[in-house]
Structure 1
Amino acid sequence: MNSLTPFPGQGPAPEVTAFQRAELNVILSLYGRMVAAGEWRDYGISSLREVAVFSIFRRTAENPLYRIEKRPKLRSKQGEYAIFGMEGQVLKRGHDLRAVLRVLERKLIRSVQ
C-alpha cells in the first residue's frame, strides 16, 4: 500500500531516536495537568539521530522553559532521560522517566488558603 521511495542516489533513511507511545503518554499527562493549571501553553517534539526532545513553552514565540531529552546511548551510564532548564542547566537525570518528571510535578503543588 503506502511505501516510501527514497530519492535517487540516497541510501536508506537514517535511524532516528523517538519517544515511544508509553513515554509520550507519561509526558503528555503531566503536560495536560500543567496546561490546566495555566503554567504551560505549547510544546514541540524533535526526533533527531541521537536524541529525542520534548520542548515545553510558556508562549509559542519564546525559548523553551524545559526540555525533556531521551538519549539511548546514555542508558547504561547516567540514564537516558534528562530535563534541562531554560538556561541549559540539568535539573534531573535518570533511568526512569516518571522519576525524572517529578521535578516538574512539584510546580503543581500549591498551598490552598
Structure 2
Amino acid sequence: MSDQPETAGRLSSSDGANVIELNQYRQSTDAVPVMFHRRELDAILRIYGRMVGEGEWKDYAIDQLRDRAVFSVFKRSGEMPLYRIEKNPKLAAKQGAFSVTNTHGMILKRGHDLQQVLKVFDKVLKLID
C-alpha cells in the first residue's frame, strides 16, 4: 500500500499509476447498443415475410448501433435500402421511439407503438371493375 490517501475509488500506487475499482470501470464503459426486443423483431419479421411473399422485398439487414437499432429492407442486396425501421430510445419521450424512413430519408410514420408505425406497410384494397 502507499502512504497516499484513497480518492473516490482511485488508488495511487508508488510507481504513479492509477488503479481504478472494478465497479467504477464497469459504469464508465460504453453502454450496450440499442437492440430490438423479441416482440418488436417478431412484428417486423411478420411484415417482412408478407412482403417477401408478395415479391416486393428480397433482403434485410439489422444494425445495432450505440444510440439506435435499424432494420433495413432491400429490393436487391446491392442497392440502397427501400425502407429503414428505426428504434431510437432518445426520442421515446418526444415523438416516439419508432420510425419508418424511405430511401430518400423522408420519415413516413413515427410513433410510440411499433404496431401502429408498421401500419404504413398495410395496403388499401381497391375495387377492380
RMSD: 1.8
SS across alignment from 1:76: coil
Output the CA distance in 2 between the equivalents of 1:41 and 1:111.
28
Give unmatched runs, 5+ long, in structure 2. Answer: 1-27
Matched residue, 2:116: 99
Hey, which bits of structure 1, 4+ residues long, moved more than 6 A? none
Select which of 78, 97, 104 maps to 1:80.
97
Q: What is the match of residue 15 of structure 1?
A: 32
Q: Deviations over 1:58-111 (max 9, x none)?
A: 00000000000000111110000000001000000000001001111227x465
Q: Distance in 1 between matches of 2:55 and 2:127?
A: 16
Measure, in 2, the Cα distance between the counterparts of 1:58 and 1:24.
Answer: 20
Q: Which residue of 2 aligns with 1:25?
A: 42
TM-score, with structure 2 as normaliser? 0.73
Aligned equivalent of 2:83: 66
- Unmatched tracts of structure 1, length 5 or more: 1-10
Equivalent of 2:72 in 39, 43, 55: 55
TM-score (normalised: structure 1): 0.83
Structure 2: how far apart are the matches of 1:112 and 1:63? 33
Specify the structure having the higher radius of gyration (Cα). 2
Number of residue pairs matched? 102
Cα distance in structure 1, aligned partners of 2:87 and 2:39: 13
Which is bigger in relative contact order (C-alpha 8 A, separation at least 6)? 1
Residue 14 of structure 1 deviates from its aligned partner by: 3.9
TM-aligned CA deviation for residue 26 of structure 1: 0.2
Query: For residues 1-28 of structure 1, what are the alpha-carbon distances to aligned partners after superposition, in whole Å with 9 as ceiling and x for unaligned?
Result: xxxxxxxxxx746420000000000000
Question: What percentage of aligned pairs have identical amino acids?
Answer: 49
